[in-house]
Amino acid sequence: MSEAGRKLPLFDQIIKPEHIVLNNGHEIDRPRSRIPLIIACLVLVIWVSLRATGFNLATIISRAGQLKVILGQIFHPNFAYFPKVVSPLIDTIKMSIVGTVVGCVIGLPLSILASSNINSNHPVLLFIRFILSLMRSIPTLIYASILTLVFDLGTFAGTIAIAFFTIGIVAKMLYESIETIDMKPYEAMTSFGASTLQAFWTACMPQILPTYIDDCLYCFELNVRASTILGYVGAGGLGVLIRERTGLRAYSDLGMVLLTLFIVVFLIDLLNDYIRSKIS
Amino acid sequence: MTELTVMEQLQAEPKNFWKRVLIFLVILALVVWGSGSIHYPGMTEKGIGIASGIVHGIFHPNKELLFDLGDSGVPFLVLQTIAIAVLGTIFGAILAVPFSFLASTNIVPKPVAYFFRALILMIRTIPSMIWALVWIRVTGPGAFCGVVTQSVCSIGMISKMYITAIEDLDTGILESLDAAGCNTFQKVRVGILPQLSASFISTAIYRFDINLKDATTLGIVGAGGIGSPLVQSITYGRWSNVGAFLLALIILVLIIEYASTKIRNRLARGKAN
Amino acid sequence: MIEFKDVSKTYPNGTKGLKHINLQIDQGEFVAIIGLSGAGKSTLIRTINRMIDITEGQLIVDGTDVMTLKGKDLRRFRRKIGMIFQSFNLVSRASVIKNVLSSNVPDMPWYKVFFGIYSQEQKIKALEALDKVNILDKAYHRCDELSGGQMQRVALARTLAQNPTIILADEPVASLDPIMADVVMSDFAKINKEMNISILLNIHHVDLALKYATRVIGVRAGEIVYDGPADKVTDAVLDQVYNGKAVPKSTDIVTEADAEEIAEVTENE
Q: Are C119 and B13 in contact (CB under 8 A)?
A: no
Give the gap in angstroms from C-alpha A208 to the nearest C-alpha of chain B: 17
Residue of B nearest to A96 (CA): B34
Q: What are the chain A neighbours of C92 within 8 Å (beta carbons)?
A: 182
Task: Report the share of chain C in percent with pLDDT over 90.
Answer: 13
Q: Is residue B82 part of a domain?
A: yes
Is the per-residue pLDDT at C131 higher than 50? yes
Substitution target from C100, C118, C136 for chain B, most B beta carbons within 10 A = C136
B-to-C residue pairs, Cβ atoms closer than 8 angstroms: 23
B6–C136 C-beta distance less than 8 A: yes
Q: Are C249 and C207 in contact (CB under 8 A)?
A: yes
C102–A202 C-beta distance less than 8 A: yes
Is the per-residue pLDDT at C260 higher than 70? no
Residue of C nearest to A207 (CA): C93
**SS3 category, C81:** strand
B13–C123 C-beta distance less than 8 A: yes
Closest by Cα among A189, A207, A185 to A112 = A207
For chain B, the domain total comes to 1
B125–A225 C-beta distance less than 8 A: yes
* SS3 per residue for C114-144: HHCCCCHHHHHHHHHHHHHCCCHHHCCCEHH
Closest by Cα among C80, C74, C76, C26 to C53 = C74
Show which subunits contact A, needing at least 3 CB pairs below 8 angstroms: B, C
Domain hosting B112: range is 55-269
Q: What are the chain A neighbours of B249 within 8 Å (beta carbons)?
A: 137-138, 142
Q: Is residue B128 part of a domain?
A: yes
Residue of A nearest to C77 (CA): A193
β-strands A27-30, C166-169 pairing: unpaired
Output phi, psi for C238, to 5 deg. -60, -40
C90–A188 C-beta distance less than 8 A: yes
Give the gap in angstroms from C-alpha A96 to the nearest C-alpha of chain B: 9
Residue A163 pLDDT = 93
Closest by Cα among B156, B264, B132 to B209 = B264
B1–C137 C-beta distance less than 8 A: yes
Q: Is residue B40 part of a domain?
A: no
Q: Is residue B96 part of a domain?
A: yes
Show which subunits contact C, needing at least 3 CB pairs below 8 angstroms: A, B
Taking only the tens of pLDDT, chain A with its 280 residues reads 444 445 667 777 777 777 778 788 787 777 777 788 888 998 998 998 888 888 888 888 888 888 888 888 888 888 888 898 898 999 899 999 999 999 999 999 999 999 988 888 889 999 999 999 888 888 888 888 888 888 877 888 889 999 999 999 999 999 999 988 989 999 999 998 888 889 999 999 999 998 999 999 999 988 988 888 888 888 888 888 888 888 888 889 999 998 998 899 889 989 988 988 887 7
Q: Which residues on neighbouring strands pair with residue C61, listed in sequence order? A: C2, C64
Q: Is residue B9 part of a domain?
A: no
Per residue in C174-226, pLDDT (tens digit) is 888 888 889 889 989 988 998 889 999 999 888 888 889 999 998 888 888 88
Q: What is the CATH number of the domain that holds B63?
A: 1.10.3720.10
CA distance B233 to C6: 71
Q: Is residue B23 part of a domain?
A: no
Q: Is residue B95 part of a domain?
A: yes
Residues of chain C contacting B, Cβ within 8 Å: 97, 120, 123-124, 127-128, 131, 136-137, 139-140
Nearest to C89 among A188, A197, A198 (CB): A188
Query: Would you say the ipTM is above 0.90?
Result: no
Residue of C nearest to B1 (CA): C137
**SS3 category, A256:** helix
Confidence class for position C254, pLDDT limits 50, 70, 90: very low
Give the gap in angstroms from C-alpha A175 to the nearest C-alpha of chain C: 19
Sorted by where each starts, the structural domains of chain A and their CATH numbers stand as 1-55 (no CATH), 77-279 (1.10.3720.10)
CA distance A278 to B21: 17
Q: Is residue B24 part of a domain?
A: no
User: Is B43 near chain A, with CB under 8 Å?
Assistant: yes
| Per-position DSSP letters for C205-264, written without gaps between them | -HHHHHHH-SEEEEEETTEEEEEEEGGG--HHHHHHHTTTPPPPPGGGG--HHHHHHHHH
Confidence class for position B44, pLDDT limits 50, 70, 90: low
CA distance B272 to C10: 40
